[in-house]
Structure 1
Amino acid sequence: MITELDKIIVPESKIIIEAQDLVHEHGNELIWNHSNRVYLFGAVKGDQDKVKYDHELLYISALFHDLGLTKQYSSDDLRFEVDGANAARQFLDIHNITPDQMQLVWDAIALHTTPGVAEHKENEVALLFHGVGMDVMGDNFDQFSEEIRKAVTQKFPRNNFKNDIIEAFYNGIKHKPETTFGNMKEDFIKHFEPDYANPNFCTCIVNSKWDS
């Protein structure tokens, strides 16, 4: 079990610095700390599981994964995960990144709230999903030593994270609740608007224009 945070590679390249600056400009302390914890937890799990992955692509994915919740990148009609993925693609498009690498980052961000799929894709996609799961819900909590957990949260504090992240999700998607149809983000709408109800999938099938 990894017990020292300095064993984890944190890339320091021009593209990383630019991505960090962008998060500082358009995000906030909550997103900054959360995104860095997500990277570190994902990287620790990858190293402990002896999984090969690109540290730079994983870190960029972590930095952008919640930017779809911000005013700068939030669309009127797309899932916030897709907004974040599109923001990352736009950012990477002006850098020397291959189409395959760009698609990998896009997939990682777009699928980071999609259990049952993300963990079975490429390593960077799976590790972002696991990093998010650890930081938000404590998934695989005991796989991380107490030393690592303390080191990560001392460097990037959680503060009132549990309550603040729920509110941040709601504030980021409340103007487009229809985008939560078929995914877990409906829970954040219902947390603040208990009477809200998305279409029922079975009703969509029964009421389609098909005769049978």
Structure 2
Amino acid sequence: MALHTPKLVAGISIPDSSLAKQATELLIEHGSEFLYNHSLRTFIFASLNGDQRKLVYDPELLYICSVFHDLGLTPHYSSPNKRFEVDGADAARNFLRGHGLSDQTLQLVWDAIALHTTPGIVEYKEAEAVLLNSGVALDVVGKGYDQLSDTIRKEITSYFPRTNFKKTIIPTFFEGFRHKPHTTYGNMNADICTCMIPGFKSPNFCDAIWQSPWEE
């Protein structure tokens, strides 16, 4: 998959450092054109949100988070028993090791990716984590759609097309964890398993309480 990454989209500069380019190459190598476009849109939406809110964030780190946030869905990075978000977070942290970044920075990136599908928690984390979640939410469910002009939205999607996104994203997610549906317990991805697996019933916390080995 050979894709060209533009330098500037909707006023947002796409990081082109050596680290950013290496991350992009991994996304192109192990991902798909669909995931590439989604990940780059996520970065731009997240950056625009950060600029609008005047948040202080590291564009390169936010870009790395955006590039890796769904790589846990791909066969190369997928584990047999971890949530796909954790697989992506592990991949990003392993990639960044050896590049002179602090342990705190590595943990920030890990948290941002691991928590990007966990509303109610992630929005209280560091700016990069907050913004990654906002970019994903805008691209997937349209949260904040009206905060961008039609001109800006069209410019972004002209570079990174949505390509039948609504019909493609659910099976794309599902392919990433169909071999481990138990990892979606307590997470919105359980909804995808319910949609895609006939008769699927996600584990229930109340059942877990009632079925515990305690007598009372």
SS of the equivalent of 2:13 reads coil
Tell me the amino acid that sits aligned with residue 206 of structure 1. Answer: W
Could you list the runs of 4 or more consecutive aligned residues of structure 1 that deviate by over 3 angstroms after TM superposition?
A: none
**CA distance in structure 1 between the partners assigned to 2:100 and 2:69 by the alignment:** 20
Normalized against structure 2, the TM-score is what? Answer: 0.94
Percent sequence identity over aligned pairs:
51
CA distance in 2, matches of 1:120, 1:143: 21
Q: Does 1:74 align with 2:74?
A: no
Listed one character per residue, the Cα deviations across residues 121-141 of structure 1 (whole Å, up to 9, x for unaligned) are 111000000000000000011
Any unmatched runs of 5+ in structure 1? none
Name the residue aligned to 1:114: 118
Q: Distance in 2 between matches of 1:24 and 1:181?
A: 30
TM-score, normalization: structure 1? 0.96
Using CA pairs below 8 Å that are at least 6 residues apart, which structure has the higher relative contact order? Answer: 1
1:131 equivalent in structure 2: 135
Unaligned 5+ residue runs, structure 2?
1-7
- CA–CA distance in structure 1, aligned partners of residues 66 and 89 of structure 2: 11
Query: 9, 12, 19: which is aligned to 1:8?
Result: 12
Provide the secondary structure at the position in 1 that maps to 2:199: coil
**Aligned CA distance change for structure 1 residues 6 and 190 (closer, same or farther; 3 Å):** closer
Describe the shift of the 1:17–1:201 C-alpha distance in structure 2 as closer, same or farther (beyond 3 A): same
Partner of 2:49: 45
Deviation at 1:23, TM superposition (A): 0.6
Once the 2 structures are TM-superposed, how far is the Cα of residue 193 of structure 1 from its aligned partner? 1.4
**Root mean square deviation, CA, Å:** 1.2
Asked if 1 retains the 8 angstrom alpha-carbon contact of 2:194 and 2:202, the reply is no
| SS across alignment from 1:75 | coil
**Kept in 1: contact 2:10–2:155 (CA 8 A):** no
- 1:45-194 aligned at under 5 Å gives the runs 45-194=49-198
User: Is the contact between residue 46 and residue 134 of structure 2 (CA under 8 Å) also seen in structure 1?
Assistant: yes
User: Residue 113 of structure 1: CA displacement?
Assistant: 0.4
Tell me the residue number matched to 2:4.
none
Counterpart check, 1:18 vs 2:18: no
Separation in structure 1 between the aligned mates of residue 194 and residue 215 of structure 2, nearest angstrom: 34
1:94, CA displacement in angstroms?
A: 2.6
Which segment drifts farther, 98-107 or 124-133?
98-107
Q: Deviations over 1:99-142 (max 9, x none)?
A: 11111110110000001111121110000000000000000111
Size of the aligned set, in residue pairs, is 209
Matched residue of 1:112: which SS? Answer: coil
Q: Does structure 1 retain, via aligned residues, the 8 Å contact 2:10–2:152?
A: no
Q: Aligned equivalents of 2:169 and 2:181: distance in 1?
A: 17
